[in-house]
Chain A
Amino acid sequence: MSILVDKNTKLIGQGVTGREGLFHAERMFAYGTNLVAGVTPGKGGEWILDGKVPVFDSVKLAKEATDANATVIFVPSRFAADAMFEAADAGIKLIITITEGIPVQDMMRVRNYLDQKGARLVGPNCPGLLTPGEAKVGIIPGDIAIPGDVGVVSRSGTLTYEVLYALKELGMGVSTCVGIGGDPINGTNFIDVLRLFEEDPQTKKVVLIGEIGGTDEEKAADFIQKHMTKPVAGFIAGQTAPPGKRMGHAGAIVEGGTGLAADKIKALEAAGVRIAKHPEEIPLLLQN
């Protein structure tokens, strides 16, 4: 078992004919992900990946032809909201958006609309999902994680890779790794993923990687305290970040005294989460 994606996920890729999208489509396909179609308006009828994957003009057509149930979006930021609306309207229930730099007001409209449609969004500005040995949806390098019983949820990209790599170095495997993204308005949050890990029989331990900005880590701490039986270890990035500055991610900012790393660490520790001093320490905290 795993969460959100596995070998049975029928995935379409929106924007996978572009340079960046195609690069990652090749890697997802080579990993064994069940990538059934691509969608690029105006390129319907073409094929990508040596003729193995058909391209359609719309999500609706791609879904009708392939019965896809998830989509991964690489569409540039100015067209990304439209791509998400389109996927939701076509009846896709799992939408993973990799794109960075989507306007905040676009994301507020998208999130509200997707909630009404009952579609789950992961991202935006995220590395996607990896269920080792089954499916790689997004840009997480496939070779840095092995199958196992650790569930990983993170707001970051390369920092997550760092943790996956450290786990692998010690022979520890992963059930599913979920990148929820670094934007202030996103879809799936920590609590959604923690709940799924708590319910997933394969997952025995959980890693939570947070960062400054917002109060999602504090809410996660409250959830862990009340509802989690599985052990959680974590790391919070941005302890040295100055207030009022956006640290690369649109959502990583300390403003008006909220979003501080110290507050998040305090809340998580109070909920019994073991907080690492640096990311390479996380696997050690899970071992004993």
Chain B
Amino acid sequence: MKLHEYQSKLIFAEYGVPIPKGRVAATANEAKQIAEELGGRVVVKSQVLVGGRGKAGGIRLAKSPSEAEELATQILSMEIKGLPVRKVLIDEAANIEHEIYLGITNDRAARRPVMMASSEGGVDIEEVARVTPEKIIKAHIDPLMGLQGYQARDIAAGIDLPRELWRSFGKIAESLWQAYKKSDATLAEINPLVITSDNKLVAVDGKMVLDDSALFRHPDLAEKRDLDVEAPAEIEARKYGLSFIKLDGDIGCMVNGAGLAMTSMDVIKFFGGEPANFLDIGGGANAEKVAAAFRIILSDPNIKAVLINIFGGITRGDEVARGILTAMKEVKPKVPMVVRLVGTNAEEGRQLLANANMITANTLADAAKKAVAAAKGEDIK
């Protein structure tokens, strides 16, 4: 789950990272008030969960409260990469001497968090990593011991930070590590961390991504989820504990297990079709969950056929069949449906569906071929 800049910076500040004075506004009038309170120049920053806000004109400098109001009006009416701007952050403008990068993320291959810094801040760090990897200084953090003081000093030295700033950099590094650890983040990033003209370090921008699996112990953070970035069907799916991702094709997929769900999509593509979604109903799904999954798939107007592939283990074929029948009574699908049931109680499931006017298949390849043909309007029985 991604957090907005203002949310991320407030969390960083809680753990001791210096951030500019500022507040978030939902209207131009509020933006003006905040700018008046701050006095001087302010930055008006769109709060949307995509990169490239600056390039899109979503980050602007205002010299007066009335200019802040004007810019806020413009920015609040924008869409950036398809996402509506609902809030702007009004921050005191910093006097920037130099910009650096500081971030922590999970290094999957090393199985540890890694702190990364670069003297080239304020730009896309992935680009820096690609073009000039030697400019990124890294330190892996022992997850049992935490960040050590010398590691922060090594990083400070590695990015040629002036010695008089090492102490404050060390504090910021430790604060960022604490914010990362205690929020169960998978990314905590300050880009840029600026050196101001009066030689202070300030986190001008911030970004956090939280581990969805750990939100159970952070109910306060879980509430910050921005639903704009998700398709409505994905939000609906999460309510039922279904894993659903919308795609662009026309063959709806309902499968149990993530690997098999991906594979079913791949096999559809292999036989010349296009999957409309990824959908894993999970292990041990009951009829109610299956019915919800079915409704979500069929709510997509592009659907021309549906492929149901269930390999029963914990999930029982008869339960899935009952769920399908329940949902069919409600939504009365007009598209052909191909069903393949194997494993636990598959025979009972097949019998339940015998009169439901569905196309059956024995193998995954056969099922995919039939779904592709059905989506093209061919007659299959």
A19 → B minimal CB distance (Å): 9
State A141–B256 Cα separation when bound (angstroms): 14
Contact (A108, B113) CB under 8 Å given A77-B213, A161-B311, A238-B266: yes
Are A237 and B259 touching (Cβ within 8 A)? yes
Are B342 and A249 touching (Cβ within 8 A)? no
**Residues of chain A within 8 A of B260, CB atoms compared:** 156-159, 162, 237
Are B247 and A242 touching (Cβ within 8 A)? yes
Are B278 and A20 touching (Cβ within 8 A)? no
Interface residues on B, range: 35 or more
Which residues, 245 to 288 on A, are CB-close (under 8 Å) to B?
245, 247-252, 256, 261, 277-281
B216 within 8 A of A: yes
A102 within 8 A of B: yes
Are B144 and A109 touching (Cβ within 8 A)? yes
B232 within 8 A of A: no
Contact (A105, B258) CB under 8 Å given A111-B111, A112-B112, A242-B247: no
Which residues, 338 to 381 on B, are CB-close (under 8 Å) to A?
342-344, 363-365, 368
**Residues of chain A within 8 A of B266, CB atoms compared:** 237-240, 261, 278
A197 within 8 A of B: no
Are B211 and A103 touching (Cβ within 8 A)? yes
A155 within 8 A of B: yes
State A252–B113 Cα separation when bound (angstroms): 19
B46 → A minimal CB distance (Å): 21
Are B106 and A108 touching (Cβ within 8 A)? yes
Are A157 and B144 touching (Cβ within 8 A)? no
Looking at A127, A140, A162, A242, which has the most chain B CB atoms within 10 Å of its CB? A162
State A104–B143 Cα separation when bound (angstroms): 11
**Residues of chain B within 8 A of A161, CB atoms compared:** 311, 313, 343
Looking at B143, B262, B269, which has the most chain A CB atoms within 10 Å of its CB? B262
Are B267 and A278 touching (Cβ within 8 A)? yes
**Which of B108, B126, B269, B284 makes the CB contact (< 8 A) with A20?**
B284
A144 within 8 A of B: yes
B interface footprint on A160-177 (CB within 8 Å = 1, 0 otherwise) = 111001000000000000
Which residues, 174 to 225 on B, are CB-close (under 8 Å) to A?
181, 184, 186, 211, 213-214, 216-217
Are B364 and A158 touching (Cβ within 8 A)? no
B240 within 8 A of A: no
B218 → A minimal CB distance (Å): 10
Interface residues on A, range: 35 or more
Are A101 and B213 touching (Cβ within 8 A)? yes
Are A141 and B278 touching (Cβ within 8 A)? no
Are A214 and B108 touching (Cβ within 8 A)? yes
Are B257 and A156 touching (Cβ within 8 A)? yes
State A108–B364 Cα separation when bound (angstroms): 36
Are B216 and A162 touching (Cβ within 8 A)? no
B283 within 8 A of A: yes
Are A241 and B111 touching (Cβ within 8 A)? no
**Residues of chain A within 8 A of B312, CB atoms compared:** 141
Q: Which residue of A lies closest to B255 (CB)?
A: A158
Q: Which residue of B lies closest to A102 (CB)?
A: B213
A235 within 8 A of B: yes
B225 → A minimal CB distance (Å): 15
Which residues, 244 to 283 on B, are CB-close (under 8 Å) to A?
245, 247, 255-263, 265-270, 275, 278, 280, 283
**Residues of chain A within 8 A of B243, CB atoms compared:** 247-248
B→A interface (CB under 8 Å): 106, 108-109, 111-113, 126, 142-144, 181, 184, 186, 211, 213-214, 216-217, 243, 245, 247, 255-263, 265-270, 275, 278, 280, 283-284, 311-314, 342-344, 363-365, 368
A198 within 8 A of B: no
State A212–B108 Cα separation when bound (angstroms): 14
Are A240 and B275 touching (Cβ within 8 A)? yes
State A105–B278 Cα separation when bound (angstroms): 27
**Residues of chain A within 8 A of B142, CB atoms compared:** 112
A72 within 8 A of B: no
State A140–B312 Cα separation when bound (angstroms): 10
State A158–B320 Cα separation when bound (angstroms): 15
**Residues of chain B within 8 A of A162, CB atoms compared:** 260, 263, 311, 342, 364
**Residues of chain A within 8 A of B365, CB atoms compared:** 278, 280-281
State A253–B269 Cα separation when bound (angstroms): 19
Are A158 and B313 touching (Cβ within 8 A)? yes
Contact (A112, B144) CB under 8 Å given A20-B284, A248-B280: yes
A11 → B minimal CB distance (Å): 19
Looking at B106, B126, B268, B275, which has the most chain A CB atoms within 10 Å of its CB? B106
B308 → A minimal CB distance (Å): 13
Are A278 and B213 touching (Cβ within 8 A)? no
A7 within 8 A of B: no
State A248–B258 Cα separation when bound (angstroms): 5
Looking at A211, A239, A240, which has the most chain B CB atoms within 10 Å of its CB? A240
- The contact sample of 16 A-B pairs, CB cut-off 8 A, is A103-B211, A108-B113, A112-B143, A139-B313, A156-B260, A157-B260, A158-B311, A159-B259, A184-B106, A185-B106, A185-B108, A237-B262, A237-B263, A240-B269, A279-B364, A280-B365
**Residues of chain A within 8 A of B269, CB atoms compared:** 239-240
**Residues of chain A within 8 A of B262, CB atoms compared:** 159, 211-212, 237-238, 240-241, 247-248, 252
**Which of A154, A182, A240 makes the CB contact (< 8 A) with B265?**
A240
